[in-house]
Structure 1
Amino acid sequence: MAEKKANPFTDLIFNVIVPSVILMKLSGDEHLGSVGALVIALAFPVALGGYELIRFKKFNFISLLGFVSVLLTGGIGLLELDTKWLAVKEALIPGLIGLGVFISTYTKYPVVSKMLLNDNVLNLPLIREKLAMNNKQDQFDRCLVQSNHLFACTFIFSSVMNYILATTIVTSPSGSAAFNEELGKLTLMSYPMIAIPSMLMMMGIFYFVWRKTRQMTQLESAQIFKAQ
């Protein structure tokens, strides 16, 4: 049976909407208080990550960084550290991922190749046969290298935008109700301003690889992809 994962709608609710509403609406002393709201809001993405780990028994490097990011956010708020550390943290996580993707270009396991060259999705034997027949294997490999660099750039974009948003939106002292409200706004704003543009850029990279594959192999889409 094919492995399943929580759908994007569930991720959006648990990682963005619910934490943002709690932080923005329930941080006042008349509700949960700044500490209580922060702890409960951060508990939702932690709970979702733990549930997926237990159910699907899969925990990768990206998931680990996400978990660490949540803990760091909680630590900054609970320890009432300078808000500049929140901006640094927001930029650091995607920056590390982008660096890892870039470094992977020079290893045996480039990230884009691992993601796209999947035997369950692509007819790899036929693709390799056509690339060899058309003497395009080296050109195809260069295409994958370019795609991996572009993929790394999407995370650099996220890193820069995270830093800009964090320094612009979160200006109140950490540990205060105002800090929680601004953190909720930051979480909510990061989805349309960072996540969606990054997703569109990734789709553009996948389209670029698909188009180049068609050009180099002279295969139709039905031949490139395995029938499901």
Structure 2
Amino acid sequence: MEHNKNQLGEQDSPKSALLNLLFNIVIPVLILSKWTDEAHLGPVKGLIVALAFPVIYGAWDLFSKKKWNFVSVLGVVSVLLTGGLALFKLDGFWFAVKEAAIPGIIGIVVLFTAKSKYNLVRMLILSPKLIKVEVLDAIIKEQKLEVPFEKLVIKTTYFFVLSFVASAILNFVLAIVILKSPAGTPEFNAELGKMTALSFPVIMIPSMAILIFSLWFLLRGITKMTGVHYNEVIRS
């Protein structure tokens, strides 16, 4: 389990989480919903201004931390794609495809790396910041459980894949249901803002529920397999 010892990046502070929420959701939603009519910014300028906030924040986050952050990069790419589709005035179907494609692609990558050292469960959960890796490693070696433990990690990874599949489906359905107006109109921008606002409760909550279940499945499996309660290997 030596490859489990890769350190994760620093966890986001409450201030960073608040800025992330403001720049990526709250401010763009307000602009798209309230200020893209002809009396204010207009549909095109309003869309550009709204998309500028997550792009600028994502770029600042990347450069200020002096390292590439996958989530920030993904956010910037997603926003640029949204802007490009809107400026070319493509209809809502293509926005739905874009919304589904990003989590879908991530899910495929996670699936194909499940049996490699880049396994998502290993990188996110079996990290020295969360788990006493040396203790868990010693227990597994002592009880000769390397093969069953590897199978448990892979099974848990499949639940992670399921969360991305669910996100892709929900993204597609949400976009199809909400985006009805022609692209490039104030009505379309308002619908885009509504879709962004609804994405958290409609998509994030079910996806997080699956991820939490995945964590429980892994920890419960460790307890059943080793006879050692998972509290003994989780860092306090």
User: Do Structure 1 and Structure 2 share a fold, with TM-score over 0.5?
Assistant: yes
Q: Is the 8 A contact 1:23 1:181 kept in 2?
A: yes
Map of 1:26 onto structure 2: 35
Map of 1:114 onto structure 2: 123
From 77, 89, 106, the equivalent of 1:97 is 106
**Is residue 168 of structure 2 the alignment partner of residue 159 of structure 1?**
yes
Of 4-13 and 126-135, deviating more is 4-13
Counterpart amino acid of 1:181?
A: A
**Is residue 189 of structure 2 the alignment partner of residue 180 of structure 1?**
yes
Residues paired across the two proteins, number: 226
Give the Cα separation in 2 of the matches to 1:83 and 1:221.
46
**Is residue 12 of structure 2 the alignment partner of residue 5 of structure 1?**
yes
From 17, 22, 25, the equivalent of 2:26 is 17
Q: Deviation at 1:226?
A: 3.5
Give the Cα separation in 2 of the matches to 1:30 and 1:114.
49
Q: Is the 8 A contact 2:111 2:158 kept in 1?
A: yes
Q: Deviation at 1:26?
A: 0.8
Of 113-122 and 150-159, deviating more is 113-122
Give the Cα separation in 2 of the matches to 1:200 and 1:58.
30
Map of 1:226 onto structure 2: 235
TM-score of the pair, normalised by structure 1 = 0.92
TM-score of the pair, normalised by structure 2 = 0.89
CA displacement 1:155-199 (0-9 Å, x = unmatched): 111111111010110011111111100000000111100012212
Q: Please report the RMSD computed on the Cα atoms of aligned residues, expressed in angstroms.
A: 1.8
**SS, match of residue 48 in structure 2:** helix
Give the Cα separation in 1 of the matches to 2:69 and 2:228.
34
Counterpart amino acid of 2:108?
A: L
For residues 1-228 of structure 1, what are the structure 2 equivalents within 5 Å? 3-5=10-12, 7-227=16-236
Map of 2:6 onto structure 1: none
Unaligned runs of 5+ in 1: none
Identity %: 37
Q: Deviation at 1:203?
A: 1.5
Q: Is the 8 A contact 2:87 2:184 kept in 1?
A: yes
CA displacement 1:94-119 (0-9 Å, x = unmatched): 11011111111132321111111212
Give the Cα separation in 2 of the matches to 1:45 and 1:210.
35
Q: Deviation at 1:222?
A: 4.5
CA displacement 1:131-167 (0-9 Å, x = unmatched): 2333322211111101111101111111111110101
Give the Cα separation in 2 of the matches to 1:222 and 1:166.
41
Give the Cα separation in 2 of the matches to 1:120 and 1:24.
41
Of 99-108 and 27-36, deviating more is 99-108
Give the Cα separation in 1 of the matches to 2:169 and 2:145.
36
Give the Cα separation in 1 of the matches to 2:177 and 2:221.
40
Give the Cα separation in 2 of the matches to 1:68 and 1:114.
23
Q: Is the 8 A contact 1:134 1:216 kept in 2?
A: no
Q: Deviation at 1:221?
A: 4.2
CA displacement 1:66-91 (0-9 Å, x = unmatched): 22111111011112123221111111
